[in-house]
Amino acid sequence: MPNVAIVGATGAVGQEFLKILAERNFPVEELRLLATKRSAGKIISWQGTELEVQETTHDSFKGIDIALFAGGSSSTEFAHSAVKSGAVVIDNSSAFRLDPNVPLVVPEVNPGDVSWHKGIIANPNCSTIIMVVALKPIFDLAGIKRVVVSTYQAVSGAGREGIEELESQLKAWANGEDMVKQVFPYQIAFNLVPRIDVFQEGDYTKEEWKMVKETRKIFNVPDMAITATTVRVPVLRSHSESINIETEKRVTVQEIRESLSKAPGVIVVDDPVGDSYPMPWFTSDTDEVYVGRIRKDFSIDNGFNIWVVGDQIRKGAATNAIQIAELLL
């Protein structure tokens, strides 16, 4: 059984790692919990054992087989030290995603890419993961010529602080008090912010470029036509995405629905008569990607619209990383 380290064990994704390792009965010989100096000494209970959080250092990875990095600056600081110590790093930050020497893996989409890792395997961006799981069966069925995606991303995408900020603003509003904003550039309660991460080339945000570039890498189609608009919404958990797809081949809505229904990691919830479709409230704390509102786009020959929802802390981060670890086993 492997010795496993979690870097960032006290954060939102780190805590989810612990939960999912237990849920999936992932075999662990030793579990080492690592975090910043501020969190060192905290006691976390896992599977009936009390574990003390240690400060992450360059020497923290001796004897570790798999190191799960929850994200943030610790990846660039410590990932290479973990590899030197003999561990395989599964990294949730953006640091290595577009490195041509690092596989970017979603197990339902490109599991074979794990085989060429050189010590680091990157976990894609949460909104990218949710999208590509839904695109994969359509890609296999009919090819994909173009994708237009608009996201509705929950505050938990900004970590535990994002959740706390929305909750505190809602309480302040209910009590007639001033709302304090620190995590998001504007008040998020009762509002939408059409900017996630910093602005970059062409006035697209870093989050939008992540969806474009990471999707191309995962599908190994460097010129796939993709455009994205990413929006933060006042939802606690689970990202939603409106995806418009132009396929290479002519297929029917029924063929697309059937391909999605058979796909691993996908649940189709699509019943207009029964007013049934995926929503964040009902998909939170699950591992699947939910697809509904499957319909023809009548403005182009081979166009379709789908509505996709997934829990970005689980499938969009922690679960995907642990699925990668399962591929390694």
Instruction: State the chain's maximal CA–CA distance in angstroms.
Output: 60
Is 126 in the active site?
yes
Rounded to 5°, angle at Cα 248 from 246 and 252: 70
Query: Which one from 58, 80, 117, 239 is the annotated catalytic residue?
Result: 239
Cα torsion angle, 221, 100, 32, 161, sign: negative
For helices 253-262 and 126-142, the axis angle rounded to 10 degrees is 120
Query: Which one from 58, 80, 117, 126 is the annotated catalytic residue?
Result: 126
What is the C-alpha to C-alpha distance for residues 306 and 278, in angstroms, rounded to an integer? 11
> What are the strands, taking DSSP E only, across 165-268?
225-232, 239-247, 266-268
CB 60 within 8 A of CB 84: no
Residues in contact with 282: Cβ distance below 8 Å, sequence separation at least 6, in sequence order: none
Written as one letter, the residue type at 156 is S
Judging by DSSP bridges, how do beta strands 144-153 and 239-247 pair with one another? antiparallel
DSSP-assigned beta bridge partners for residue 67: 5, 89
User: Alpha helices, DSSP H only, in 97-205?
Assistant: 126-142, 160-174
CB 216 within 8 A of CB 97: no
Q: Which residues are catalytic?
A: 126, 239
